[in-house]
Amino acid sequence: MEAEESVGLVGAGRMALAIATGILAAGNVKPEQIIASAPSDNNLCKFKEMGMRTTHDNGSVVKNCTVLFLAVKPHLLTNVLVNICPLVTPAHLVVSVAAGVTIDTLESLLPQGCRVLRMMPNLPCTVLQGASVFCRGTHATTSDADLLKGLVSACGLCEETPESYIDIHTGVYLFAEALIDGAVKMGMPYELSKKLVAHTLLGAGKMMLDSGEHPAKLKSDVCTPGGTTVHGLYQLEKGNLRSTVMDAVGAATDHAREVGKRLQPHQGLGQR
């Protein structure tokens, strides 16, 4: 990434802060090259503490950046796009992280020919262990994709995918909570249980990546005949864990797509 690139964030919530933190950690952008906007100072103070510029004016963000991250709630994004559209130029690369809002919707509310990327990060980006996917709009180039990857490289994994994959996401926190509560039920202190579960999940993920083995193979490797693990797995199978988790992914995906349908621009807005 070239040093003269400047980054703007419309929206200053947890995901915006995670992205900004990752961008700074990558080392290609200085704090003073980042500007974030929000209606109040509640979230902006964290950006200020890290040396980034802040404003309450979305237009000021657009005017002072070349890479623009749209990190507002999906139901707010349409109005934001309508308001900033006159300020967006061919020099801007626009990256939306709003769930459910499609490339078609983004491009219809921005100037014709605008370079757009749609990105779906997750919250572990906050601790630089995230997993993000993104797709290109009609006019975005390979260089634009490389620029985004370079910016967020420190946030964790970042993969380009077809847009149809963007809404397929889920979380592990409820499962982690259940593991912790199970250990507490059997007498283990909460803090120790939380630490053990977190490291177990972290280690399991690393084994999957480093070994290249299918999760079923890794599961079998720890199932000794008549052992504790296989007895636990039996209870998970009785509770239909796999089908329940698969249904949860499907429900989250369907909801994200439904949000996108509701946010399609009203007839008559069209390309600018």
Q: Residue 34 is part of a domain; what is its CATH number?
A: 3.40.50.720
pLDDT at site 1? 46
End position of a domain, from candidates 146, 166, 186: 166
Residue 108 falls inside a structural domain:
yes
Least confident of 4-13, 53-62, 165-174, 178-187: 165-174
Residue 66 in domain: yes
Instruction: pLDDT band for 4, please (50, 70, 90 cuts).
Output: low
For 234-247, letters b (16+ CB in 10 Å) and e give eeeeeeeeeeeeee
Is the pLDDT at 144 greater than 90, yes or no?
A: yes
Report whether 77 contacts 96 (CB < 8 A).
Answer: yes
Provide the residue range defining the domain that includes 25.
Answer: 7-166
pTM of the model as a whole: 0.82
Mean per-residue pLDDT, 70-87: 94
Give residue 257's pLDDT band: very low, low, confident or very high (50, 70, 90): confident
Q: What is the CATH number of the domain that holds 186?
A: 1.10.3730.10
Residue 106: inside a domain, yes or no? Answer: yes
140 phi/psi in degrees, rounded to 5: -75, 145
pLDDT of amino acid 11? 97
Residue 64 sits in the same domain as residue 101: yes
Higher per-residue pLDDT: 153 or 229: 153
Confidence of residue 219 (pLDDT cuts 50, 70, 90): confident
Residue 107: partners with Cβ closer than 8 Å, 6 or more residues away: 114, 116, 137, 138, 139, 271
Do 232 and 132 lie in one domain? The reply is no
Supply the pLDDT for residue 237: 86
Regarding whether 159 and 97 lie in a shared domain, the answer is yes
- Cross-strand partners of 7: 34, 67
Q: Check: CB of residue 137 under 8 Å from CB of residue 103.
A: yes
Which DSSP state fits 28? S
Q: How confident is the model at residue 258 (pLDDT cuts 50, 70, 90)?
A: confident
Mean pLDDT computed over 68-88:
94
Residue 184 pLDDT > 70, yes or no? yes
20 in Cβ contact with 45 (< 8 Å): no
Q: Are residues 113 and 65 in the same domain?
A: yes
Range with lowest mean pLDDT among 16-20, 30-34, 59-63, 206-210? 206-210
Judge whether 43 and 17 are in contact, CB under 8 Å. yes
The total number of structural domains in the chain stands at 2
Instruction: Please give the structure tokens belonging to residue 5.
Output: 């690139």
Lowest mean pLDDT among 104-118, 124-138, 168-182: 168-182
Q: Of all residues in the chain, what percent carry a pLDDT higher than 90?
A: 59
User: Do 193 and 157 belong to one domain?
Assistant: no
Cβ-in-10-Å burial (0-12, 13-18, 19+) of 202 comes to exposed
Averaged pLDDT score across all residues of the chain: 88
Residue 270 lies in a domain: no
